[in-house]
Every structure is written in C-alpha cells, then in structure tokens.
Amino acid sequence: MSAPLLSVQDLTVRFRMGQEGGVARHALAVGRDGQTVSFDVPAHRTVALVGESGSGKSVTAMSIVRLLPDNAECSGRVLWQGEDLLQATPARLRALRGREVACVFQDPMSSLNPVFTIGDQLCEPLRQHLGLSRRAALARAEELLAEVGIPEPRRRLSAYPHELSGGQQQRVMIAMALACEPRLLIADEPTTALDVTVQRQIIELLARLKAQHGLAMLFISHDLGLVGEIADEVVVMRHGTVRERGTARQLFGDPQDAYTRALLACRPSLDANAARLPVIDDHIAGRQPRQQGQAKDPAAPVVLQVSALAKSFYLRQGLFGRREFRAVQDVNFQLRRGHTLGVVGESGSGKTTMGLTLLRLHEPTAGEVIFDGRNLLTLSDAERLAMRRRIQIVFQNPYASLNPRFTVGQALVEPMAIHGMGTNDAERQARALALLSKVGLGAEAFGKYPHEFSGGQRQRIAIARCLTLEPEVLVLDEAVSALDVSVQAQVLNLLKDLQDELGLAYVFISHDLAVVRFISDEVMVMKDGRVVEHDHVEQILRAPREEYTRRLIGAVPKGWQAQAT
C-alpha cells in the first residue's frame, strides 16, 4: 500500500492563556486525556472530520497548514509526503499554501477582500505561485470562474465580493483554492451558511472537481447527512479526541461508538417525526426523550392574520431614474395560538424580508397584518412600541444580536424597564433569573457577558430576552441554522416546550426542511417573493405540488445511502 498523501500522527494542540501566580496557563484543544489525534488522508480520497462545536476538528485542520494563532503550541507530526510540516520554515509554508494545499473556509465574505475585485484576488495566487503575467492570469481566472459555474465569468472578474450571492462567493473561494491545482483541499464548513439547493450545488461541484483534478480532500462539518454523501472515510471527534473512524458505509451503517450513534440520532429527519429530539448526553446515558407532545387545537384562536403583504425596494437606475425590486408579493396566511408556521425557500426567496416586514423592521409597500384586531402596519410610533412587546424576533446570529457591552442580566432587564414591566429593579431581576432557568441557564449567567458563552447558550439568552416581554408571537429567522446538530436539538426542544407551556405562536423561517418538519404544523414555500405552496407539513413533504418544492426536498442531504444510488 502506498504512503498517504497526508499523515497526522500523535497531534496535540494547546493554547497559552497567560500566567497565573507566575505559572503559565494552557488550554488543551486537541489531544486531551492523553489521547492524541492521528489519521491519514490518502491521495484521491475524501476524509471528513465531524463533531460538535469545540470538538477540535477545525483546530486540527488549521494546524496542518499552521494557520493557528501565535499562542498555539503543536506537538506530534504532520507529514506531507513524508515532510513534517510542524518543523517547516515560514518560507516553505508560504510556498506550500495554495500551491500544494489549499483551504476553503465557512464564511467567504470574511475570506474575500472587500476592496479588491474578484479578478484581482484570483490573479494573486496565479502570479505569485505560477509566475503568470497579468494577461495570462486574467485569462486563467476567467477559465476558473467558468469551471466552478459562475455565470458570465468575464464580467464577474471586475465585480466586488458584495455584488455576488453567498453561493457565488463560495464558488469564487473554491476557484481561488483550485487556481494553482493543489493536491489537497481543506474545506472547513464550506456550506454551513448556504441554503439546501446552493449547498447541493457546492457539494456536487466539489465532487466533480475532485474527480477531474484528482484531488484529495479533508472535509470538516457537523452535518452528518452531508458528510455521508461526500466522504470516503470519516473521523469522529469529541473534546479534542478521536472517538471513531472508518469508511462512510461502516460508520453510518453500523456506528460502534455511543457518541457517533448519539450524533446520528439527534438530527431531525424528513422521513419520521418525533415530539422531541434526543440530545447527546441523554442518548449516551440511554435516556429516551418523551415521544408524546401536546396536541394542537385546530380551532385555536387566530393571533396573526396576514393579507396581501408586499414589500418593494427601489434601486437607483441612471442619474434620475429608479427601478422597483419586489422582494415580497401578495403573501397571505393566518397563524393560530400555539401553532407554528414554517417558511422555507432558497436564499433570495423573500422569506426573511417577509418576517422583518411583519414587525415593520422593513416598512411595507402594501397589505395588512392584523394582530389583536388592529393592523400593525398602520399604527403610530407610540402604538407600535406597545404592540411590539407582544411580537418578538429571534435572529440567526446571536453573536450580533446581543450587545457585547451588556451583561446577560442587563440585556434581560433593559427591555422590561423600557416597557414598564415590573414595579422595581428587584422584581425585574427576579423575572430575568426565572427566565434564565427556564431556558436551561443558571443564575451564574446573570452577571456574565455574551462572549463567555457558546453559540447555543447565546441563542438561549436571545430567546430568554424575547420572553421577558411576555410575547404572544415569535418570529424565528434561521434561529438554529448556525448551531451544530446537538445544540440545535436542545434549542428546538426548548422552543417546543415553551410553546406547550406558554401557548406561543411561531413564524419559523428556515432553509432546513428537516428542522421545519420537526417544529412546524404548516409550511409556506416561497420563491422570488411569492408563496408558491402552502399546506400542512406532512402534505407538503409527502405530495408537493410544485416542482420548486420537490427540488428543495430533493436537495436535502441523505447520508451515505446517496453514494450508493
């Protein structure tokens, strides 16, 4: 058997965290409890690293190309065709990156330079590593954009990153990674922020480019369904150690480790539904979630009635003209107390704009939103402030929606003070502490700042902040899409529990149909700002009427079985 292209042997990574009492403090990220990390990446094969946030998978991948911060200390060996990269000089690493080993990261907008055109950024590695002239580099850049499926590649060379969609930005990143024809591509969560159809396109693109160029790939993800479709071999990590490794067929067909089985179990499914999702620790301990949810009342009172809702944006055209862009057109639905309306569609379908227009975070162009007998779209500012207390929103990114200068306690108490809830600060503080307990956080969280919490904990804090005002309707805009599967399961269970207890009504916006099936009673499918299908969730999934809906369902990752079909 030939030697692997890349061999990671006995790797440990720790971070220097300053000094305490004259003694240096370290945090061990990879290789805990004496269990170092080892795996191989053979030529022309795809190896996936999977695990929850904090499992060490991205730290492991970045240690291969030495892109960790200066306070990182690595030990062990990372052999690239027999050469130990942990001992390589900075000059050798610069020559290696991009030329032999290339990386594609999760967020293309943080990787692409916003002040340089796409052509300039594609030409840079071609000129630096291959020594091409400006003209030759531009010609090759155009070929690369065409190869990754960017329409009108010549015109896109002069575009800036913000002028492209998220999927197109990720294609540009893949084109940059492939510019110098590397032998290994490290893809770190390359599809996490993309909707299911664009995700499907990117996965198929990576598979095609791998076959065409003879690439090896190290694919990092927390989405096991996705990993099952693209990987030949899988390495499961938890708490900085390897829990299980094997072929995709072995690992998904007959997982041996309890943690792997738990990861597979806590993912919502398109094929079956349950009242609650198992979470990692409960599944490992053998505790089964209750499967009896609270029955929905089909005659529950309607809390939100939306009629002919529309939102247009006006874009400048020429010196004096303007062009109308209809982001939302003729949306109609009603939402009952204790029920959930799922809203699905591709990026750009208008689902988020619709949600923001409901709350008048975008001013509507037309339509009615009747809540408690009043049209929210015609209220005065003072009336709207009072009504907004009863309809709240949870955004996708809890990092951006929580003020980093406020403690958790301040973030929870401030809305109550603004709306005059509670007779004094002590009463408001007591309510905030009770809500922290309700969302699964202890009283110790009250005095901490957002940066001291994980993403899942921050999302719980964001939900608690909404609940301080005793709302009747929550608009959840991709509220779990940035969370790994185990934390996602916890937050989804929490949302169901709160709905059963408080009778909340949800407008749940998502591109993940499996999640929508788990939490929704009805589903509204949007395309180009219009509702193309609206029905009970089971009816939509079992017998969709529209080709667009069938395409959304067909794009959902199906695991390793898809490789065999």
- How far is residue 334's CA from residue 306's CA, in Å, rounded to a whole number? 6
User: Taking a C-beta distance cutoff of 8 angstroms, is the pair 210, 5 a contact?
Assistant: no
Tokens of 538: 């089971």
What's the half-sphere exposure (Cβ side, CA atoms, 13 Å) at 504?
Answer: 28
Average pLDDT over residues 487-510: 90
Tokens of 64: 């291969």
Residue 375 has a pLDDT of 93
Tokens of 468: 């301080």
Judge residue 332's burial from the number of C-beta atoms within 10 Å of its C-beta, 0-12 exposed, 13-18 middle, 19 or more buried.
Answer: middle
For 172-231, how does the pLDDT look when each residue is reduced to its tens digit (9 = 90+)? 999 999 888 899 999 988 887 677 888 888 888 888 889 988 899 999 988 788 888 899
Give the containing element (helix H, strand E) for 245: strand 241-247
- How far is residue 18's CA from residue 15's CA, in Å, rounded to a whole number? 9
Q: Which amino acid is at 455?
A: G
**Percent of the chain topping pLDDT 70:** 96
Q: 290 pLDDT band (50/70/90 cuts)?
A: low
Q: 385 pLDDT band (50/70/90 cuts)?
A: confident
User: Taking a C-beta distance cutoff of 8 angstroms, is the pair 550, 216 a contact?
Assistant: no
What's the half-sphere exposure (Cβ side, CA atoms, 13 Å) at 493?
Answer: 23
- How far is residue 392's CA from residue 435's CA, in Å, rounded to a whole number? 16
- How far is residue 475's CA from residue 359's CA, in Å, rounded to a whole number? 9
Judge residue 414's burial from the number of C-beta atoms within 10 Å of its C-beta, 0-12 exposed, 13-18 middle, 19 or more buried.
Answer: middle
**CA angle in degrees (0–180, nearest 5) for 242-247-250:** 100
What secondary structure does DSSP assign to 148-203, as a single string? TT-SSHHHHTT--GGGS-HHHHHHHHHHHHHTT--SEEEEESTTTTS-HHHHHHHH
DSSP label at 240?
T
Place of tokens 């269970």: 493
φ/ψ of 458, rounded to 5, equals: -65, -40
Looking only at the bridges linking them, the beta strands covering 216-221 and 184-188 are: parallel
For 321-370, how does the pLDDT look when each residue is reduced to its tens digit (9 = 90+)? 888 889 999 999 999 999 999 999 987 789 989 999 998 999 999 999 99
Q: Is pLDDT of 485 > 90?
A: no
Residue 333 has a pLDDT of 97
For 29-77, how does the pLDDT look when each residue is reduced to its tens digit (9 = 90+)? 898 878 999 999 999 999 999 988 778 898 999 999 999 999 999 999 9
DSSP 3-state assignment of 109?
A: helix
Q: Higher model confidence: residue 420 or residue 366?
A: 366
Q: Is pLDDT of 560 > 70?
A: no
Residue 44's Cα: distance from chain center in Å?
A: 28
Extended beta strands in 51-183, E state = 72-80, 83-84, 101-104
Tokens of 112: 């692409």
Residue 292 has a pLDDT of 59
Tokens of 463: 């939900």
For 218-239, how does the pLDDT look when each residue is reduced to its tens digit (9 = 90+)? 999 887 888 888 999 999 999 9
Nearest residue to 158 via CA among 131, 204, 119? 119
User: Taking a C-beta distance cutoff of 8 angstroms, is the pair 98, 182 a contact?
Assistant: yes
Q: Higher model confidence: residue 503 or residue 265?
A: 503
DSSP 3-state assignment of 1?
A: coil
- How far is residue 414's CA from residue 139's CA, in Å, rounded to a whole number? 57
Residue 564 has a pLDDT of 47
User: Taking a C-beta distance cutoff of 8 angstroms, is the pair 548, 525 a contact?
Assistant: yes
Longest dimension (CA), the chain: 75
φ/ψ of 399, rounded to 5, equals: -65, -40
Residue 316 has a pLDDT of 78
Residue 318 has a pLDDT of 75
The third-level CATH classification (topology) of the domain covering 302-564 is Rossmann fold (3.40.50)
Q: Supply the mean pLDDT for the chain.
A: 88
